[in-house]
């Protein structure tokens, strides 16, 4: 049976048409009835449809008849944004082939390259496809040459399609059957790789698995090799695209099992499911797990209402089950109470998680300015890893602060090279190289502090290049720098979520930019509010929000001017008293607006 199975995924840069191609496959194979079909069918989250992007990988089984033989095609639709490349690495571990999809108008982009390298490391068979050839601005011939150059193949081997209107889509499925190898048939000991998981109130943890050896059926006793969690399979099945119960899952197949386990931490992505007797078997080797994601950006989440701390903890626990890259640890702040320091893969990831906490769990959050993880060496020789500015020791105790560095690749049309290099010059950077892919595409290589790119770098890059440039980056270690803590004070109180670590030479400009922005977004109060940026005890920038003025003489229809002056004086004295004791309560949208520069 395994000779008729093909396991493959679609990899591409964001917005190159992965989900649309997956939609056409579902129609073509009759997996979803035409009347039930809608765009981005596999993107099950409302957030995915609203933003037009894929956030979660999504598996589906399709049946397709080709040259008189019935084939089982297991497809995994993957995200394309740089923040979600860990989802791609999970999919690649479960398949034998990958469709590399490239937009005919945009050409090869940074995430196309990054995902291609991941697929080549896994030794997957690559099926190259150019999409959107029906667009008026399609550069099909040129993009074909770029792709052929990258893969070291002839341009004639690359398929041309339009996923939107279905042109050439059937040839893609046929090429997958012809070129992607069938999974190796292994009827021996049970070995299944967990590539994703989710939680069901009744069935417990659902593990999404690829069976590499043996078979799985209902009531079978199993164990997760790394966590030693034992369970009995309550249900076994596959995705079509909803969950469909089956009798069993055999070697080469992709599906799910309901474990009945109530603790999400017991089922880990990348772990191997096997038989309990194998735990003590010295010869048994678990499957090689996928690359463990490392958080790059850290932000603090505090519930708006202190009593909702437990609900926030439960919400993060449930989100972690479907998002293996999410890390969090408890944290407390004098002004904001108890919360969590949460680790993310990038800024889009921060936005997505905060939005999901709000929508799915109805919690309002106060979110700190995202930062990287710093390495602080104290004068006594001790080394600390600082993820939150609040935990930074007193400057008198610090010997040095080192910040994480990344190797960054930018892929762009040659015509935008000048303006992009000018933009990069405004950030701290080390230029490394320029390479050319084809005649009109350049690859720029830089090394930069991660702190420079976590907030608005991606948005500025898209703006300067009219959306044509793209980026990917990976960590390369840490580098010492002259870094200081910058605090923001509102009405004399330090607002911890706005504190950040910045290079000394940029502290004034950062402080000035922050207080100017806060002046525009902090609501006016009944008293005058000072917004200050400070390093240690020294104020480097200040703005003032004038008091909200109420007309206390509105009820008067004449009379002596001294009566009005008496009321104005009384109002002025009241505002002076409020200024001394008044505190400013910041609404959640102020914190969210400060997330974006």
Specify binding-site residues for GTP.
Answer: 15-20, 131-134
CA distance 167 to 174: 14
With beta carbons less than 8 A apart as the criterion, state whether 336 and 260 touch: no
- The candidate with the shortest Cα–Cα distance to 496, out of 285, 291, 353, 302, is 302
Using CA atoms, how far residue 348 sits from 11, 237, 303, 370, 524, in Å, is 19, 33, 20, 11, 30
Residue 434, classed as helix, strand or coil, is strand
Q: What phi and psi values does residue 138 have, to the nearest 5 degrees?
A: -65, 135
Q: Which residues contact 581 (CB under 8 A, 6 or more apart)?
A: none
Name the residue with tokens 């902090």. 522
CA distance 150 to 146: 6
With beta carbons less than 8 A apart as the criterion, state whether 114 and 85 touch: yes
| Residues of the binding site | 15-20, 131-134
Judge residue 577's burial from the number of C-beta atoms within 10 Å of its C-beta, 0-12 exposed, 13-18 middle, 19 or more buried: exposed
Q: Within a 10 A sphere around the Cβ of 365, how many other Cβ atoms?
A: 23
Exposed e or buried b for every residue in 271-298, given b needs 16+ CB within 10 A? bbbbbeebeeeeeeebbebbeebebbbb
Residues in the chain: 597
**Torsion angle of the four alpha carbons 18, 19, 22, 26, in this order, in degrees rounded to the nearest 10:** -170
**In whole angstroms, how large is the CA radius of gyration of the chain?**
28
With beta carbons less than 8 A apart as the criterion, state whether 184 and 219 touch: no
Orientation of helix 588-595 relative to helix 507-521, angle to 10°:
140
Q: What phi and psi values does residue 320 have, to the nearest 5 degrees?
A: -65, -30
């Amino acid at each position: 049976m395994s000779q008729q199975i093909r396991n493959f995924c679609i990899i591409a840069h964001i917005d190159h048409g992965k989900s649309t191609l997956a939609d056409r496959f579902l129609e073509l194979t009759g997996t979803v009835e035409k009347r039930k079909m809608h765009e981005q069918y596999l993107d099950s989250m409302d957030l995915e449809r609203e933003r037009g992007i894929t956030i979660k990988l999504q598996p589906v089984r399709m049946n397709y008849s080709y040259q008189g033989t019935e084939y089982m095609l297991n497809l995994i639709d993957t995200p394309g944004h740089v923040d979600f490349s860990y989802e791609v690495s999970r999919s690649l571990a479960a398949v034998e082939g990958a469709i590399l999809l490239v937009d005919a108008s945009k050409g090869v982009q940074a995430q196309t390259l990054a995902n291609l390298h991941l697929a080549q490391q896994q030794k997957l068979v690559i099926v190259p496809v150019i999409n959107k050839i029906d667009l008026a601005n399609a550069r099909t011939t040129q993009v074909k040459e770029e792709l052929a150059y990258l893969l070291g193949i002839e341009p004639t081997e690359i398929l041309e399609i339009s996923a939107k209107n279905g042109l050439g889509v059937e040839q893609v499925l046929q090429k997958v059957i012809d070129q992607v190898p069938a999974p190796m048939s292994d009827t021996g000991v049970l070995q299944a790789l967990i590539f994703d998981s989710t939680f069901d109130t009744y069935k417990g943890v659902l593990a999404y698995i690829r069976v590499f050896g043996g078979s799985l059926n209902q009531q079978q006793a199993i164990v997760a090799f790394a966590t030693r969690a034992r369970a009995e399979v309550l249900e076994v099945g596959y995705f079509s695209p909803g969950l469909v119960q089956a009798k069993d899952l055999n070697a080469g197949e992709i599906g799910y099992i309901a474990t009945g386990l109530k603790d999400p931490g017991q089922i880990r992505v990348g772990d191997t499911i096997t038989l309990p007797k194998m735990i003590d078997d010295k010869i048994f080797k678990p499957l090689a797990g996928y690359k463990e994601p490392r958080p790059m950006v850290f932000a603090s989440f505090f519930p708006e209402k202190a009593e909702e701390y437990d609900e926030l903890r439960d919400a993060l626990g449930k989100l972690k089950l479907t998002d293996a890259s999410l890390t969090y640890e408890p944290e407390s702040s004098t002004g904001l109470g108890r919360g969590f320091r949460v680790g993310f893969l990038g800024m889009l990831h921060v936005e997505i998680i905060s939005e999901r906490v709000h929508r799915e769990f109805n919690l309002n959050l106060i979110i700190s300015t995202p930062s990287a993880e710093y390495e602080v060496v104290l004068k006594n020789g001790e080394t600390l890893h600082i993820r939150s500015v609040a935990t930074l020791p007193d400057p008198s105790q610090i010997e040095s602060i080192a910040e994480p560095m990344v190797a960054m690749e930018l892929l762009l049309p040659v015509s935008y090279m000048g303006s992009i290099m000018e933009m990069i010059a405004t950030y701290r950077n080390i230029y490394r190289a320029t390479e050319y892919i084809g005649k009109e595409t350049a690859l720029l290589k830089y090394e930069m502090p991660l702190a420079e790119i976590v907030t608005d770098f991606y948005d500025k890059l898209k703006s300067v290049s009219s959306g044509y440039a793209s980026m990917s980056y990976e960590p390369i270690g840490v580098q010492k720098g002259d870094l200081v803590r910058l605090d923001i004070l509102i009405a004399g109180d330090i607002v911890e979520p706005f504190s950040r670590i910045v290079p000394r030479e940029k502290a004034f400009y950062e402080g000035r930019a922050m207080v100017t922005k806060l002046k525009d977004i902090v609501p006016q109060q009944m008293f005058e509010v000072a917004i200050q940026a400070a390093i240690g005890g020294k104020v480097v920038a200040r703005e003032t929000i004038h008091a909200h003025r109420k007309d206390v003489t509105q009820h008067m229809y004449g009379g002596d001017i001294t009566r009005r002056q008496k009321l104005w004086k009384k109002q002025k004295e009241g505002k002076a008293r409020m200024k001394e004791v008044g505190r400013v309560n910041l609404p959640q949208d102020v914190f969210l607006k400060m997330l974006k520069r």
